[in-house]
Amino acid sequence: MRRYSREVQTSWECFEGPQPWPDVGGRKGLGQGADVVLGLAEKCELRPGHCLVFDNFFTGLPLMSALSEKGLGGTGTARDNRIGKPEGLMSVEKMKKMPRGTTSATFYEDVAVVRWQDNRPVTVVSNINGVTPTGKCSRWSRQERRKVTLDLPAAIQAYNHTMGGVDLHDQFSASYRIRVRSKKWWWPLFSCLVRSCAVNAWLMYRKLGNDISQLQFVRQCTQELLVRYGTERRAPGPAVLLVTGAAGDGIRRDGLGHWPRAGPTAKARCKVCGCRTKFICGQGRRIRGGRGGSCPPWQNRGGAKVSFCPPP
């Protein structure tokens, strides 16, 4: 089970079978789905006023009542066997015979149960949204052979606006999944966590105004991690260039030990111009500068009178 803010994953728990959540604010026995929601809400220390959205695996009337007592909002699709037969709510069999856009609603204490006819009946339970204010949605009508405008209840509209975060995050994670296999039981959990962290970082990086694809972001992160934490080759063989051209921005701008220093040999060649040099970057990872050079970000910095290789 995972909790998301939009498509960003903020917390997660492993499914351990149908057992109640241990010590969830004194509430137990509400069902596996309800216990998971309440447990994650308590784990994330949500303050009153936060709104949660979940699918029909978790939704139930007892869960909504428990969220209301905590001052939390909740909206989610519901299965018919989770809500019983509330008085005043049109049955699913009767709703199927109604025209598209038909709405039926009732209240259970402070919880609204809204049923709306789309291609099939959709039931949404919420303690913060009801029928009004209604919105508009567009659907294709086979009979009229054109798009028609339908009234959309507020609860349905709120759910549609926030749904899809879990599926979207899983889609991003599956795009470049870690292919390394291991017989350790914890490896699938670890690799899944690493991929989720990478997806979260990429989404936050894009929100800062950086238009970059996930593939480019993953490549940059991988190269910078290998340059920063990778081990040196111990056996002879052809050298493998992890980064072609300039170092990544994460390495170039970290401000940690990039001053030029003398290397172990004077026969190494610059990665940019190909000239022989004895100078290397202070981090000791990449040769730079044909006539006494350093990493590209230090070129002429502070008026330094050192001849550096031009950046690629």
Nearest CA among 3, 1, 9 for reference residue 169: 9
Taking residues 199-223, report their average pLDDT: 87
Taking residues 169-180, report their average pLDDT: 83
For residue 240, the model assigns a pLDDT of: 58
For residue 259, the model assigns a pLDDT of: 66
Length of the chain in terms of residues written: 312
Q: Which residue has the higher pLDDT, 253 or 288?
A: 253
Taking residues 150-156, report their average pLDDT: 85
Distances from the Cα of 6 to the Cαs of 52, 90, 144, 168, 266, in angstroms? Answer: 11, 32, 36, 9, 54
pLDDT surpasses 70 at 271: no
For residue 136, the model assigns a pLDDT of: 84
For 230-268, the pLDDT digits (tens) are 776 676 666 655 544 445 666 656 666 566 777 777 777
For the chain, what is the mean pLDDT? 74
* Conformational region of residue 8, where left means phi above 0, alpha means psi within -120 to 50, and beta covers everything else: beta
For residue 209, the model assigns a pLDDT of: 86
Taking residues 97-105, report their average pLDDT: 84
Phi, psi of 118 (to 5 degrees): -115, -125
Phi, psi of 222 (to 5 degrees): -65, -45
- Cα dihedral 209, 211, 215, 216, rounded to 10, equals -90
For residue 237, the model assigns a pLDDT of: 66
User: In the structure, what pLDDT confidence band is assigned to residue 296 with cuts at 50, 70 and 90?
Assistant: very low
Range of weakest confidence among 99-103, 209-213, 280-284 = 280-284
H-only helix segments in the chain:
32-43, 61-69, 80-83, 92-95, 154-162, 165-175, 187-207, 214-229, 249-252
CA atoms lying within 13 Å on the CB side of residue 125: 28
pLDDT surpasses 80 at 303: no
Alpha carbons 127 and 73: distance in angstroms, whole number: 6
Residue 52 and residue 72 in contact, taking contact as beta carbons nearer than 8 Å:
yes
Range of weakest confidence among 33-37, 54-58, 194-198, 277-281 = 277-281
